[in-house]
Chains A and B, each alone.
Chain A
Amino acid sequence: MTDQYPLEHELAPPQANGELVFDDPWQMRVFGLARTLCEQGCYSWDEFRVELIAAIKRWDSDLNQQPWSYFDHFLEALLRVLDKKQMIRQDELTNRLKQYLNRPHGHDH
């Protein structure tokens, strides 16, 4: 597997009472990003939490509700905080995503 984070093979996801906390390595990575930025003073955890609650509420009231996925909301909240703080704009991320999606199949880092 080459397109996944290298840490996938080095770190087992944290387990509590034998249950996985993360379904996918990207979820662990996004949690790490959110905490690191908070600890470095980019925002408070309460600021993040407000966005997380709002993201979950939007899902709650969505008539075309997608299946529940907590870390989708977690990532959405992080992106909103970063946009509000003018750290990463949505269009920057969209452009970078386009580049990544056009990578040749089997691309290695």
Chain B
Amino acid sequence: MREPSPQSIRAEALEALLIEKGFLKAEDVDQVILRYGERVGPLNGAQVVARAWVDDQFREDLLNDGSAAIASYQFEGGQVEKLVVVENTATVHNVVVCTLCSCYPWALLGLPPKWYKDPEYRSRVVKEPRKVISEMGFDLAAGTSVKVWDSSAEIRYLVLPQPPENLQSYSEDDLVALVSRDGMIGVAER
């Protein structure tokens, strides 16, 4: 049997105290974990991106006021109360970071991956975004400029990737499948 780590014991002790003092119930925590584990993830963001690709009015609304445009989806997870959507074009590529901690639009992308929270990504993508994006597997065209968006206390960003060529040949469901979490952070093409 593996010995529990000190942090595991600390977390266990903390939860026990919180329950004993009546601040929460274990079942409530279970429900929150279940929500973020099963119902909050990048599929939500992919649905929004695919809709923006096929519906010009929705795309315009999304770029004007991201939070209002996605309200009707009623996604769980939060952290999209001030959502700003930035659009990739043939000449401009956007990438998102939180230099101070790990701010991230949970309702659209789920919980952030480890690399997004690491000091290396948080510091390097600001200084050398093109190189970092390339190291993550996406080489930007030489003429493309890169904009880095640093999540502030309130604003959360979502990158709207460029649609595929022959957009009309895809169903909306097929388009959803083309969109990745990394594309919506801006470290992949889409």
Q: Do A and B come from one complex?
A: yes
Give chain B residues whose Cβ lies under 8 Å from the Cβ of A12. Answer: 37
Give chain A residues whose Cβ lies under 8 Å from the Cβ of B79. Answer: 45
A100 x B11 contact (CB < 8 A): no
Give chain B residues whose Cβ lies under 8 Å from the Cβ of A49. Answer: 101, 103, 153
A4 x B8 contact (CB < 8 A): yes
A96 x B102 contact (CB < 8 A): no
Taken together as a complex, chains A and B put the C-alpha atoms of A49 and B79 apart, in Å, by: 12
- Considering only residues 7-24 of chain B, those with a C-beta below 8 Å from chain A are 7-18, 21, 23-24
A79 x B36 contact (CB < 8 A): no
Question: Does B32 interact with chain A (Cβ within 8 Å)?
Answer: yes
Which secondary structure dominates chain A's binding surface? Answer: helix
Taken together as a complex, chains A and B put the C-alpha atoms of A40 and B109 apart, in Å, by: 23
A70 x B8 contact (CB < 8 A): no
Taken together as a complex, chains A and B put the C-alpha atoms of A4 and B153 apart, in Å, by: 35
Give chain B residues whose Cβ lies under 8 Å from the Cβ of A79. Answer: 14
- Considering only residues 95-129 of chain B, those with a C-beta below 8 Å from chain A are 100-103, 109-114, 117-119
Taken together as a complex, chains A and B put the C-alpha atoms of A26 and B101 apart, in Å, by: 20
Question: Nearest A residue to B180 by beta-carbon distance?
Answer: A17
B11 x A97 contact (CB < 8 A): no
Question: Nearest B residue to A4 by beta-carbon distance?
Answer: B4
In the complex, which of the residues A11, A30, A92 contacts B11, with contact meaning CB atoms closer than 8 Å?
A30
- What are 12 inter-chain pairs, A to B, with CB distance below 8 A? A1-B2, A19-B113, A21-B111, A21-B112, A26-B11, A32-B32, A45-B78, A46-B153, A49-B101, A88-B21, A93-B10, A97-B10
Closest 5 CB pairs of A and B: A26-B8, A32-B33, A26-B11, A96-B13, A32-B29
